Amino acid sequence: MSHLPAAYPAARLRRTRQSAAVRGLVRENSLTVDDLIWPIFVRDGEGVEEPVTSMPGVVRRSVDKIVEAAREANDLGIPAICLFPYTDPSKKTEDCAEAWNPDNLSNTATRAIKDAVPEIAVMTDVALDPYNINGHDGFVKDGKILNDETVEALVKQALSQAEAGADIIGPSDMMDGRIGAIRSALEENGHSEVMILSYAAKYASAFYGPFRDAVGASGALKGDKSTYQMDPGNSDEALRLVGRDLDEGADMVMVKPGMPYLDICRRVKDHFGVPTYAYQVSGEYAMIMGAAQNGWIDGDKAMVESLLGFKRAGCDGILTYFAPAVARKLNGL
Ligand code: PBG
């Protein structure tokens, strides 16, 4: 615990803030490129980079362009990228079969990256929403989200991603029991090295709006996700979820969204001491970029400060759309 060693003027806390040199010496936390996971959007076609309107600077890329992006990320020292597919509406169905198609966009992109840039870690998203005609992360029957049936589908999806070469599987669906089911299936099918980064404490948040545009799920979504994602008023429940997912075989855990939930990051890190990540989600990115584009804040400084906040809150890393921009800055480019 820190405490004030003496009374003023013996103690003048400004002494250690007097120059950049001294501030550097006493700085407790810092951001490095090793802390970054870059979420990127995949779409079909060739040579395509299509802007996402609500996320200035973010594009949906065809697989060839995804490979270029992975190469760029690797050159910048970014350790991992995370793939999210924009699925053509004609491939969205009630049974979500495209989710475990070995040749779907996510799997095709994973294979292409692992072929061209094997060093970079590829993380994939396990959830049915990009493939679901009603935009939900699970199967829907009579207006209810089915848990156990969904878990069976998620296992198939996760296995297809492992077969394609994913290094890290990221279940973002919030169904009960999915981590254990996916872990056993991975073990039984020769994928014991595949890691699971569980979206363990994922809140039902308004900050996902731009992402749902980016993956084409907003038009499709009927209702909200509050019967499976967490209530923003809860904190102890996050610890129960993280503990449960670790017991079921998660290697790393995530808190999502990021900036409004830094208290949860800190509690999780203090309580469990496991690799802990935060997702600075699309709406957080959009707020910073929107304000910066209007000249209301210094975008570069706000980017760095927002990401440093995650380190201070105890996170080991951050999923952020700023990854390449902040990596360039950290590399002095
Ligand atoms: C859904 C999923 C979401 C995000 C990642 N995976 C949105 C949702 O739960 O509706 C959000 C990411 C972001 O907003 O940047 N499986």
pLDDT(213) > 70: yes
What is the per-residue pLDDT across 307-318, written as a single tens digit (0 to 9) for each? Answer: 999 999 999 999
d(CA 331, CA 76) in angstroms, rounded, equals: 7
Q: Give the E-state strand segments of 203-262 in sequence order.
A: 252-256
Identify whether the C-beta of residue 146 lies closer than 8 Å to the C-beta of residue 94: no
In which band, very low, low, confident or very high, does the pLDDT at 221 lie, cut at 50, 70 and 90? Answer: confident
pLDDT at 323: 98
Return the sign of the alpha-carbon dihedral for residues 175, 177, 183, 189: negative
What is the per-residue pLDDT across 230-279, written as a single tens digit (0 to 9) for each? Answer: 999 999 999 999 999 999 999 999 999 999 999 999 999 999 999 999 99
Collapsing DSSP to helix, strand or coil, 70 comes out as helix
d(CA 196, CA 100) in angstroms, rounded, equals: 17
> Which atom of ligand 1 is closest in space to residue 137's alpha carbon?
16
Give, using CA atoms, the residue closest to atom 14 of ligand 1: 208
Omega of the bond leading into 51 within 30 degrees of 0 (cis): no
In which band, very low, low, confident or very high, does the pLDDT at 219 lie, cut at 50, 70 and 90? Answer: confident
Return the sign of the alpha-carbon dihedral for residues 159, 165, 171, 177: positive
Helix (H) or strand (E) segment spanning residue 200: strand 195-202
CA–centroid distance, residue 314 to ligand 1 (Å):
22
- Active-site residue, 256 included: yes
User: What average pLDDT does range 168-195 have in this prediction?
Assistant: 98
Return the sign of the alpha-carbon dihedral for residues 258, 263, 266, 267: negative
pLDDT at 212: 87
In which band, very low, low, confident or very high, does the pLDDT at 142 lie, cut at 50, 70 and 90? Answer: very high
Q: Is residue 233 packed enough to be buried (19+ CB in 10 Å), middle (13-18) or exposed (0-12)?
A: exposed
- Active-site residue, 202 included: yes
From the list 65, 91, 92, 202, the catalytic residue is 202
Give, using CA atoms, the residue closest to atom 5 of ligand 1: 172
- Whether 282 lines ligand 1, by a CB cut-off of 6 Å, is yes
pLDDT at 222: 82
User: What average pLDDT does range 196-201 have in this prediction?
Assistant: 98
CA–centroid distance, residue 262 to ligand 1 (Å):
18
Identify whether the C-beta of residue 214 lies closer than 8 Å to the C-beta of residue 52: yes
d(CA 160, CA 109) in angstroms, rounded, equals: 13
pTM for this structure? 0.97
pLDDT(1) > 80: no
Identify whether the C-beta of residue 44 lies closer than 8 Å to the C-beta of residue 203: no
The listed CATH number (3.20.20.70, 3.40.50.300, 1.10.20.140, 1.10.3720.10) that belongs to domain 30-330? 3.20.20.70
User: What average pLDDT does range 35-42 have in this prediction?
Assistant: 98
CA–centroid distance, residue 206 to ligand 1 (Å):
10
